[in-house]
Structure 1
């Protein structure tokens, strides 16, 4: 390790080669952090990291498929070898299960006719992948004086909002895959926060909002940079910041 790497905070963002993840990486780098751009496709990860560097940031591509335990372990080994610790982990990698279809249009997720294999695939990335990455990186996070974990969730993960027949989400088609995966991610966030509270590691869930990305065929009305803002805020909380919370840019969200 050289002096340059030891003085900067180190952040890992999964699924960071495009969309919200890339915007999160760009903003954390702009704050002076060394950002590890996690991506399943090493070439795309390197392209994104190079763009962050071209803008003046310190970024490095990290091959990481959250559904492949061997790549998760290898990523943790590389972070250990190069930096010796990790200050911020943003679990952003996620899939809708329906490809480039906005959640409200995903007819293939209707509970009574859903394909169980699709549900398993969505949970594999959105839930089990998060557990795998947190557990692999936790020894490195424990070496940080103020580690932060942010899980990128969704307003759709709120049972309160999605169960209100007169609320803003009443128009969404029922979902047996994506929406339950984000509700489960919220529950998981609370459990990790409860375990790690005594260690000073703050763990929160963030809902970026309806962001214009590939996953919804660019139908969102927020830019990736706007969606990234709440995630970056939670990734940079002070010691007195919240833990076990669920937030949008407008403030706390109901579970």
Structure 2
């Protein structure tokens, strides 16, 4: 049975991703920075008939929490097949490049960028034991610098000064990580789940969590011939599914 760790999985897209991977027979370690919320999420999935799911406390903003999660998981398994770096934050709603306080930049980057790196580095040894390891970094279509320079792009005016750079940085990390692991069985990709109605955006998005999670799951379950080092986005590139960086 393949195993997967999903950060920020106690609600929204992360939770639905857990459900869909359970449906495909994976054992899910449901990451949540709050144990009670993680347990509640697991209980909900168990009530639906899924037994192969456990909560794991992991706060991606806290390196000690990440190390503790790695120790806990290492006591349970020797192999991790999939890591989904799903945890992310938006920051303040009004983000301008000159007025937004630097503390907001640091907070968002800590979660969206540095947290991903620390989690990936902490669990890479378990992933290397898998015959088909997969790393999925949940990004945003807003992380495309190419499209942000295209006035015809439908999201051209959405220039969130903190969130956009944090996801662009995550995309860059995905590129270099995939390149570093290019001669191995790893598949490392960034996935834009689309503009989805969640607590994250006050349910303003038109997309569903089911569709968003399906995009993440698709990258998490790529076969040996699957692509690596890609920026998957049905929103940005409905024909090819691969967004420009």
Q: TM-score, normalised by structure 2?
A: 0.95
Preserved contact between residue 92 and residue 151 of structure 1 (Cα < 8 Å): yes
Offset at residue 175 of structure 1 (A):
2.1
SS of the counterpart of 2:98?
A: helix
Instruction: Please say if 1:65 is aligned against 2:51.
Output: no
Instruction: Please say if 1:228 is aligned against 2:218.
Output: no
Counterpart selection for 1:161 from 136, 143, 147: 147
SS of the counterpart of 2:160?
A: coil
SS of the counterpart of 1:113?
A: coil
SS of the counterpart of 1:15?
A: coil
Offset at residue 161 of structure 1 (A):
1.5
Instruction: Please say if 1:41 is aligned against 2:34.
Output: yes
Preserved contact between residue 205 and residue 247 of structure 1 (Cα < 8 Å): yes
Offset at residue 171 of structure 1 (A):
3.0
Counterpart selection for 1:79 from 73, 82, 105: 73
Q: Aligned residue for 1:4?
A: none
The structure that is helix-richer by fraction is 1
Counterpart selection for 1:32 from 19, 25, 33: 25
The gaps in structure 2 that reach 5 residues or longer are none
Q: Aligned residue for 1:182?
A: 167
Misfit runs of 4+, over 3 Å: none
Within a 5 Å distance, the mapping from 1:91-110 to structure 2 comes to 91-98=85-92, 106-107=93-94, 109-110=95-96
Preserved contact between residue 40 and residue 65 of structure 1 (Cα < 8 Å): yes
Aligned residues: 239
Preserved contact between residue 50 and residue 59 of structure 1 (Cα < 8 Å): no
Q: TM-score, normalised by structure 1?
A: 0.91
Within a 5 Å distance, the mapping from 1:85-164 to structure 2 comes to 85-98=79-92, 106-107=93-94, 109-164=95-150
Q: Aligned residue for 1:217?
A: 202
Q: In structure 1, how many angstroms separate the alpha carbons of the residues matched to 2:111 and 2:196? A: 20
Within a 5 Å distance, the mapping from 1:4-19 to structure 2 comes to 8-19=1-12
Q: Aligned residue for 1:252?
A: 242
CA deviation vs aligned residue, 1:130-167 (integer Å, no higher than 9, x gap): 00000000000001000000000000000112221222
Q: In structure 2, how many angstroms separate the alpha carbons of the residues matched to 1:175 and 1:212? A: 18
CA deviation vs aligned residue, 1:48-105 (integer Å, no higher than 9, x gap): 112222222211000000011111011111111101110000000000012xxxxxxx
Offset at residue 112 of structure 1 (A):
1.5
Offset at residue 116 of structure 1 (A):
0.5
Q: In structure 1, how many angstroms separate the alpha carbons of the residues matched to 2:189 and 2:69? A: 23
Q: In structure 2, how many angstroms separate the alpha carbons of the residues matched to 1:201 and 1:78? A: 24
